[in-house]
Structure 1
Amino acid sequence: MYSIGQLVKEFSVSRSTLLYYDKIGLLKPSGRSTANYRQYTQRDFDRMAQIATYKEAGLPLDSIAEILDSSNNEPSEILEKRLRHLNSEISRIRQQQQLIIRLLGKRSLLKTTKVMNKQQWVKILRASGMDDQAMRQWHIEFERDLPEVHSDFLESLGIDKKEIAEIKAFSQN
């Protein structure tokens, strides 16, 4: 049996977090000691480990409860939804980075932020010996193998949607 203190220490959560999980039914202790302290079994411990993993993945508590309490215990739909949300959020944040750099008007920030623009990327490709035909082939391969990642990468370079559409169109031909 595990005490609330042992779970607090093992999972780096607060006592009040565990009390809240108990209150909402996410993690109920399996028993009580003679002094009426909460006691957790190995099964409870394992459930808490799953909760911690799903929390680390950014899932809200109601989604975690849905996964853990479902009879088929199939988290893929919920996790795929979370992944789509993260992809969207990453894209939105990259666009904000590009906008802030443009608003500041300091191109020097491109060297100190985790942002690359189209000009920098083309410069790197040219420095590695790629001509226009080799770059076109690079786009064709990228589009064929990973079309969504290709789009995301082009967006991350600050390329507008019209130019991305043009690049993807010539990459598909």
Structure 2
Amino acid sequence: MYTVNQLGKMYNLSRSTLLYYDKIGLLKPSARSEANYRLYSKNDLKRMEKIATYREAGLSLESIADILNSDDTNSTTILEQRLHSLNSEISELRKQQQLVVELLGKDSLVRTAKIMNKEQWVNILRSSGMDEDDMHRWHREFERDLPEVHQDFLESLGCSPEEVSSIRKWSQ
């Protein structure tokens, strides 16, 4: 059995966090000591491990409780919603990143940014020996096999929504 302090050290959580998890029913201790201290079992540790993993994935405590207290179907739905939310956040961050690069201009040290623009990508494809037909074929395959990923990739290159739409239509 483990005390609140021991469990807190294992998962780098404060005592108050673990007491809060108990209060909301997310992680109830399996037992109490003679002095009425909370004691956690190995099964509680397994549950805490799941909680820590879901927190690391950015899930709310409410969503974590729903997952831990429900069937696999509900878990899948919650995780798919989180994935959709992450994809939206990433898309918005990419737009902000592109805007900051534009605001900085060509004279800045943009080379430190972890981005690639459309021009750089096309140059890489051309230098690897691809011509217009090869690039069209590449886009067609990408659009056919992974349409949403293709769109995300085009957006990551800083293509405007109109250009993304045009390339995707051209790729069909």
Which interval holds the TM-score relative to the shorter structure? over 0.9
List aligned pairs for 1:127-166, cutoff 5 A: 127-166=127-166
SS of the equivalent of 1:26 reads coil
Taking the aligned partners of 1:83 and 1:152, their CA distance within structure 2 comes to 14
- Displacement of 1:73: 4.5
Taking the aligned partners of 1:39 and 1:133, their CA distance within structure 2 comes to 67
SS of the equivalent of 1:29 reads coil
1:66 alignment partner in structure 2:
66
1:95 aligns to 2:98 (yes or no): no
CA deviation profile, 1:104-150 (whole Å, cap 9, x unmatched): 21365442101111111111111111111111111011101100000
Contact kept, 8 Å, 1:110 with 1:116, in 2: the verdict is no
Over the residues paired in the alignment, what is the CA RMSD in angstroms?
1.3
Contact kept, 8 Å, 1:21 with 1:27, in 2: the verdict is yes
SS of the equivalent of 2:65 reads helix
SS of the equivalent of 1:39 reads strand
Contact kept, 8 Å, 1:29 with 1:41, in 2: the verdict is yes
Taking the aligned partners of 1:138 and 1:94, their CA distance within structure 2 comes to 23
List aligned pairs for 1:1-150, cutoff 5 A: 1-70=1-70, 72-74=71-73, 75-106=75-106, 108-150=108-150
CA deviation profile, 1:41-75 (whole Å, cap 9, x unmatched): 222111111101110111000000111122x2541
Letter in 1 for 2:106: K
Taking the aligned partners of 2:120 and 2:109, their CA distance within structure 1 comes to 13
SS of the equivalent of 1:87 reads helix
Taking the aligned partners of 1:8 and 1:139, their CA distance within structure 2 comes to 50
User: TM-score normalized by structure 1?
Assistant: 0.94
Count of equivalent residues: 171
Letter in 2 for 1:133: D
Percent of counterpart pairs with the same letter?
63
SS of the equivalent of 2:159 reads coil
Q: Cα gap change, 1:106/1:151 in structure 2, threshold over 3 Å: closer, same or farther?
A: same
Contact kept, 8 Å, 1:91 with 1:152, in 2: the verdict is yes
SS of the equivalent of 2:39 reads strand
Taking the aligned partners of 2:17 and 2:107, their CA distance within structure 1 comes to 45
User: TM-score normalized by structure 2?
Assistant: 0.94
Taking the aligned partners of 1:121 and 1:109, their CA distance within structure 2 comes to 19
